[in-house]
Amino acid sequence: MELFTKNPACRFVAKFIFIIISLCVVWGCKRAFNYTDLKDIEKAGEITVITRNNANCYYVYRDEKMGFEYDLARAFADYLGVKLKLKIAEKWEGMIPDIQNGAGALIAASMTITPARQKQVAFSDGYKAIQQQIIVHRENNKIKAVEDLAGKTVHVRKGTSYQERLETLQKQGIDLKIVLHDDIPTQELIRLVAQKKIEITIADSNIALLNRRYFPQIVIACPINEEEYLGWAVNRNAEKLLHSINAFFKKIKSNGKFNEIYNRYYSNVEIFDYFDLKKYHKRLKTKLPIYRPLIQKAAKKYDFDWRLIAAQIYQESHFDPNAASHAGAFGLMQLTENTAKSLGVKNILSPEENIPAGVAHLKNLFVHFNHATGRDRLFISLAAYNVGQGHLFDARNLARKMNMDPNKWESIAKTLSMLRFRKYYKDSRYGYCRGTEALEYIKQIMIYYDILKQKGIEYSSSHGRYMD
């Protein structure tokens, strides 16, 4: 050892080795992946987004990844030109620590921007305005204002902005009791209100409006705060990433992409007919099971989601096999005699013939409109089923004349409505069309379909996903 330290050559070698090791350590630290660094994210080619496995953020339906926040996150990854990687948070209150500890780049989980959270993370510009709403059972008519919570027990999930607001109300003198639930989804608490197992819960307005479809027994009583905003959260040091997120939201709000994603999950949530939905939920239990095997068989044959077909059948006939319209349409899928004959139907009122023929007819329309894609193609096909293929021919021609895309439902929805005015239908091949009825037809089908999809998604905590 003494020889090693006294020998100049040995000392030189030792110093050289020390420098190399030090440089390797420093270089390694510099190369360590940093979730707060936008350049590192772009160089790695992927971004890790922290979210939650629930009906509002992310779930899997028919082996397809879905969810409002998931679709936004996927669009952001495309905007950056990187792959999307999800980190599903086990607990709501664990997401902010994950961002602080560098376990992900951002939180996309319908998180409300609050002063308390802004001390811990940095938020993007708000992308959706919401209000916290009191949820009670329809038979509860005692709560009409925030002050009516005095003496009441309110159930909310632990660590939410609902808890923060309720605690503020307590400090302001409203004598209410808060029961905190450990990581129970808001939708589950709404279900408990609908079942009269708890009296009151709180939900953001978008969640409340959507779940009113699923649980028509509940009522949105009143808001408990002023308008707030949902935002994405990042580490407080991630300034460039935050700037990029804000630029992304600005872009998708200006080009319509945000509304497209939002409407995919929350379209027409303001529409609510208690008696219609109550009857629908009842018939899902009493009538649908009778025809479900026939619906599933036909849907599978023609590659449709059976729930979509069931929703269409309800809109057409309310599951009445003997239904007959003034326009000469019959049976569960309201086939005209000409359409039924062309499809080889002998007994138009027979569910065994009516359902397969109706689905085959829809498939023929779907194949015909093959220049459209995705939901545009589906909606155009459904509209043709409702008002006839000829009127869709006219609507598409009118769209072309007006320099609109004839393969986009947004265009066809406008031109179909216009065909009820002589100014537009006088030069069309098929003449007058009650186009607004087709819009309402599709709107109702998608509401019924959404309810059926929700009923078909069963949460499995052991697998951490939603299963069809």
Q: Which residues are catalytic?
A: 316
58's tokens = 């992310």
Cα atoms in the 13 Å half-sphere on the side-chain side of 288: 20
Torsional sign, CA 74, 259, 224, 119: positive
Residue 456 dihedral angles phi and psi, to the nearest 5°: -90, 0
Decide if 417 contacts 439 (C-beta within 8 A). yes
Residue linked to tokens 């709501």: 92
| 157-188: burial string, b at 16+ Cβ within 10 Å, e else | bbbbbbbbbbeebeeeebebebeebeebbbbe
- Helix-strand-coil percent breakdown of the chain, rounded to 5? 55, 15, 30
**Residue 378 and residue 370: Cα distance in Å, rounded?**
10
Residue linked to tokens 């998604």: 457
**Residue 185 and residue 155: Cα distance in Å, rounded?**
11
Residue linked to tokens 């090791």: 21
**Residue 348 and residue 350: Cα distance in Å, rounded?**
6
CA-CA-CA-CA dihedral for 113, 118, 124, 127, to nearest 10 = 10
Exposed / middle / buried, residue 73 (Cβ in 10 Å: 0-12, 13-18, 19+) = buried
| 241-261: burial string, b at 16+ Cβ within 10 Å, e else | bbebbbebbeebeeeebbeeb
Exposed / middle / buried, residue 344 (Cβ in 10 Å: 0-12, 13-18, 19+) = exposed
Measured from the Cβ of residue 76, the count of other Cβ atoms closer than 10 Å reads 22
Decide if 227 contacts 131 (C-beta within 8 A). yes
**Residue 169 and residue 132: Cα distance in Å, rounded?**
13
